Amino acid sequence: MFLKTTEYALRAVLYIARESHEDRRVSLAAVARAIGSPASFTAKIMQQLSRDNRIVCSVRGPGGGFYMTPASRQLPMQAILEAMGEEHLMTKCVLGLRQCSEKQPCPMHEAYQPVKAGLMRLFTHHTIGEMAGEPEWRKRLQQKRRPGLKR
Amino acid sequence: MFLKTTEYALRAVLYIARESHEDRRVSLAAVARAIGSPASFTAKIMQQLSRDNRIVCSVRGPGGGFYMTPASRQLPMQAILEAMGEEHLMTKCVLGLRQCSEKQPCPMHEAYQPVKAGLMRLFTHHTIGEMAGEPEWRKRLQQKRRPGLKR
DNA sequence: TGAATAAAAGACAAAATTATCCTTAATTAT
DNA sequence: ATAATTAAGGATAATTTTGTCTTTTATTCA
């Protein structure tokens, strides 16, 4: 569906939405560990996500790291795709045809239409904060982070 | 959504389903032109699709080319994805997590579920022949092939 | 101010995907 | 049989994506 980069970005933002506040920041290393992406690669992704502090905010120096404001949590999930330059994946033709449209439909257009609509709805109708609200996720990440944890 | 290779494969099979019969074969060059993919790259894709003549059949020599049998037209669209080794894209987690499941859902699992179901339905419930049945497609391909056509 | 910390930025490397070219094998027609 | 045609197969190259490493900049604290 998405590029690995974008998958990492989605994971990272959801993680930060859970774990951070204005005063409690999470480090790059913590993010990388949590989302299972190499640290220096994660760094590049975080740069895209924190450009202009639009989606996540970043602070350098001791005690620094990343966090999200309440305002950013109100952004639709789509904002993450936009930051990564992959928002077109929601509207793209299944066959990858540029000219495909309602007027000039590809053979799969009609059948794919409801899937596309569902995708768009998924990313436009849900905010980041909303998506980050699931409790199962955090539990699993902690299991993963310390595999040898007893019980 | 899919790799370019797979998009080409889907386009190629739908094109061949339309244009060919046991006795009327389409050449590699024709397929490549129709789907807008470089000829030698298309050749590689056709090799995957005609392996064991499972999806398309191929014939070498003068008058040769590719065609589809009525039996192949009955295959679900999914068969094309399988031939290209991308069937997992239908069932994959949006965040790309391997462990994501009903029991261990990622934050987007529940919301993505209906989209995934739609995707799977799209490729399992529709046959290649069915999908190839749209008249608009052929018209557009012919326009594209000869851009300077009068009228 | 100076040292330590943590992200930003840039250069570079590896891997995967996409694309090209050349040779071989199969089929048809002469 | 020989030549011509068309796909198969193999080797190689270009591009994109993914990943790494080093240096720079901002911030905090002593």
Interval A5-46: pLDDT, tens:
999 999 999 999 999 988 899 999 999 999 999 999 999 999
Out of A1, A108, A111, the one facing B92 most closely (by C-beta) is A1
> Which is nearest to A34 in space by CA: B87, B80, B97, B129?
B97
What share of chain A has pLDDT > 70, as a percent? 88
Categorize the per-residue pLDDT at A66 as very low, low, confident or very high, splitting at 50, 70 and 90.
very high
**Residues B100, A140: Cα–Cα separation, whole Å:** 10
**Residues B140, B25: Cα–Cα separation, whole Å:** 20
Amino acid (one-letter) located at A127: T
Question: Into which CATH architecture does domain A4-145 fall?
Answer: Orthogonal Bundle (1.10)
Categorize the per-residue pLDDT at B150 as very low, low, confident or very high, splitting at 50, 70 and 90.
very low
Q: Which residues of A touch B114 (CB under 8 A)?
A: 118
Put simply, whether A21 touches B (Cβ < 8 Å) is no
CB atoms within 10 A of CB B34: 23
Interval A96-130: pLDDT, tens:
999 999 999 999 999 999 999 999 999 999 999 99
Q: Is the CB of A40 under 7 A from strand C?
A: yes
**Residues A98, B102: Cα–Cα separation, whole Å:** 36
Interval B4-63: pLDDT, tens:
999 999 999 999 999 998 889 999 999 999 999 999 999 999 999 999 999 999 999 999
- Residue A7 C-alpha, separation from nearest chain B C-alpha, in angstroms: 5
Please give the pLDDT value at position A125: 93
Categorize the per-residue pLDDT at A134 as very low, low, confident or very high, splitting at 50, 70 and 90.
low
Nearest CA to the C1' of D16 belongs to which residue?
A: A3
Size of interface A-B (CB pairs under 8 A): 91
Q: Is the CB of A5 under 7 A from strand D?
A: yes
Q: What is the DSSP string of A39-75?
A: HHHHHHHHHHHHGGGSSSEEE-STT-EEE--HHHHTS
Helix axes A28-35, A135-145, angle to 10 degrees: 100
Domain locations in chain A? 4-145
B107 vs A1: CB contact, 8 Å cut-off?
no
Q: Could you tell me how many residues make up chain A? A: 151
Interval B116-143: pLDDT, tens:
999 999 999 999 999 998 555 544 444 4
